Amino acid sequence: MADDLMLRTEDVARHFDVSRPLIQRMIAREGRRTLRAVDGVSFDIPKGTTLSLVGESGCGKSTVARLVVGLYAPTRGRVVFDGRDLAEARSDAAQRRRMQMIFQDPYASLNPRWRVRDIIAEPIRAFGLTRSNAETVERVGQLLTQVGLAPADGQKFPHEFSGGQRQRISIARALSSNPEFLVCDEPTSALDVSVQAQILNLMKDLQARLGLTYLFISHNLAVVRQVSDRVGVMYLGRIVELAPAETLFTTPRHPYTRALMEAIPDLDMTGRQRIPVGGEVPSPITPPSGCPFHPRCALANDRCKAELPPMLPARGTPAAKVACHAVEEGRDGGPQAAVRVAERGGMLAAS
């Protein structure tokens, strides 16, 4: 089974020191302040599959993405890429080219002073994947064609393209080093709905043809259902539910996952009153004790306030792992209540 894994994270955490300068701290008589952006995340991604991470803004999704590709070093835990520790793999050029990242804002991630052909050719030249300039030009043309653009578009600058076309250029650049693993950090969030569908279809087609493995970051549940094999729901730097995509969308177990389902627009216009999740997202600098979701959870009790719940198979839904005392103790209403929540989120079934 280990040979089938492309990526594994083991209790990975990333903390940032956000303290004020020393003199100001001495005057105010305050200690250091630590922001726990990611605080113990573990998951596996088998080869050729897609794991998506969803959650509210600030829950740590993008930080996980940067940890996975080595842009951040973990404060705790480790990332294992195809059987090797990431720190070791990133120091090896042959291993490093096997993973690439697609960023949220395609225009910000493309050099505005370079022509598209040079942007896409940069990884090819950096890793020495071609033997001559003619081969590089031919390869760039193939990549542009592969993502639905014309080879002649390589002569243009990024500002001459639409948002969807720029994202296609970003995908072509990511594919130029012949990677096996792509981290996609909100690749469609800045695009129109119709363009989102085109990009998602392109990514699914490339995965099928090239055998790619994806870590997909998004806050859009409809998008996540379309592209995912498994889904992890993040809250305040932790994964609170991890399940196969269909299981999560048909039987959501964690109270936070159910709250996300309740926020989906009602396309049937039933007039049913929705109960939004109350309270505010706690600060990752001063997280609450026990379960991080307990200040906003209607099912919370004294145990939730004092004890951090472990990730365990959910009662009645063993394919899902959930970090929730209420699910563990059967106080959530079980799979039947979860199905009712999923049915009320009818928009997902139609997407």
| Contact indicator for 102, 76 with CB cutoff of 8 Å | no
Domain identity same for 47 and 195: yes
Helix (H, G, I), strand (E, B) or coil at 77: strand
Q: Lowest mean pLDDT: which of 151-160, 231-240, 278-287, 308-317? A: 278-287
How far apart CA 86 and CA 182 sit, in angstroms, is: 15
Mean per-residue pLDDT for 133-149? 94
Domain identity same for 204 and 275: no
Domain identity same for 61 and 78: yes
Domain identity same for 258 and 289: yes
Within-domain flag for 104: no
What secondary structure letter does DSSP report for 268? Answer: T
Q: What is the structure's pLDDT at 51?
A: 96
Within-domain flag for 62: yes
Q: What is the structure's pLDDT at 268?
A: 60
pLDDT greater than 60 at residue 350: no
What region does 170 belong to: left with phi over 0, alpha with psi -120 to 50, or beta?
alpha
pLDDT greater than 80 at residue 270: no
Domain identity same for 166 and 205: no
pLDDT greater than 50 at residue 351: no
Domain identity same for 153 and 189: no
Provide the whole-model pTM: 0.88
Instruction: Please report which confidence band the pLDDT of residue 3 belongs to, taking 50, 70 and 90 as the band edges.
Output: low
Domain identity same for 13 and 90: yes
- From 178, 202, 217, the end of a domain falls on 178
Residue 291 vs residue 192, higher pLDDT:
291
How far apart CA 323 and CA 241 sit, in angstroms, is: 6
Within-domain flag for 71: yes
Within-domain flag for 60: yes
Within-domain flag for 247: no
Residue range 24-82, pLDDT digits in tens: 888 988 888 999 999 999 999 999 999 999 988 889 999 999 999 989 999 999 999 99
Q: Lowest mean pLDDT: which of 168-182, 269-283, 303-317? A: 269-283
| Contact indicator for 102, 184 with CB cutoff of 8 Å | yes
Count: domains in the chain = 3
Q: What is the structure's pLDDT at 223?
A: 84
Instruction: Please report which confidence band the pLDDT of residue 155 belongs to, taking 50, 70 and 90 as the band edges.
Output: very high
Give the CATH number of the domain where residue 212 resides.
3.40.50.300
Q: What is the structure's pLDDT at 347?
A: 42
Instruction: Please report which confidence band the pLDDT of residue 88 belongs to, taking 50, 70 and 90 as the band edges.
Output: confident
Q: Is the dihedral of CA 202, 95, 43, 278 positive or negative?
A: negative
Residue range 167-177, pLDDT digits in tens: 999 999 999 99
Within-domain flag for 52: yes
Domain identity same for 157 and 17: no
Residue range 202-259, pLDDT digits in tens: 899 999 999 999 999 998 887 888 899 999 999 999 999 999 999 999 899 999 998 8
Within-domain flag for 198: yes
Please, where are the H alpha helices in 263-345? Answer: 302-306, 325-329, 334-344
How far apart CA 248 and CA 233 sit, in angstroms, is: 9
Domain identity same for 71 and 213: yes
Domain identity same for 184 and 174: no
Within-domain flag for 236: no
Q: Which residue has the tokens 């090896």?
A: 92
Residue 336 vs residue 253, higher pLDDT:
253
Domain identity same for 190 and 77: yes
φ and ψ at 55, to 5 degrees? 155, 170
Helix (H, G, I), strand (E, B) or coil at 325: helix
List C-alpha distances in Å: 324 to 52, 297, 337: 20, 11, 15
Domain identity same for 75 and 194: yes
Range of the domain at 221: 1-98+179-228
